[in-house]
Amino acid sequence: MRTKVLALLLVVIFALASLPARPTAAQTATPPTCADADLLKEIGTDLTTIGTSLGDIPKTGAGGLYAIMIDISNTRHKYEDKDLPKDVGCVYMQTETIILLATIQDYAVVEMADKLGLDKDMIAKNREFMNKRLEAQLKMVTDLLPKAS
């Protein structure tokens, strides 16, 4: 259930990426945001794909989850290997996206432990921790989205 909520949340968050950017003058008085529509679309597409895959975790086995984890890693590597954007808000967005992908990967590790039938108490504790961590990181990313004027 939590995985489906996370997947839906990722889709909704990056649907917001189409909001118009604030004027540049206003950005100097407020925290930076990323207004690069192409970068936001790319991130949104990648996170939507991953979010959809995360929704498949409950019905897949360890092999299916492994494939999802590889996709998450490859997507993270794509952003790690990209040139940095020129806009500071977009540099933050790219960096926070990398951290978000790493956090999603950590969440998948906990789910893999469940697929392998490991310590249920430890899995429950780690799920709780990872859900809090994911919420915090999602906020870091969404705070960088352009605000509606």
Domain boundaries, the chain: 2-17+35-142
Task: Give tens-digit pLDDT for 83-111.
Answer: 999 999 999 999 999 999 999 999 999 99
Give the number of other CB atoms < 10 A from CB of residue 60: 15
Specify the higher pLDDT residue, 110 or 26.
110
Per-residue pLDDT, 149: 64
Q: What is the mean pLDDT of residues 106-125?
A: 96
Q: Give the separation between CA 18 and CA 2, rounded to whole angstroms.
A: 26
Inform me whether the pLDDT recorded for 2 exceeds 80. Answer: no
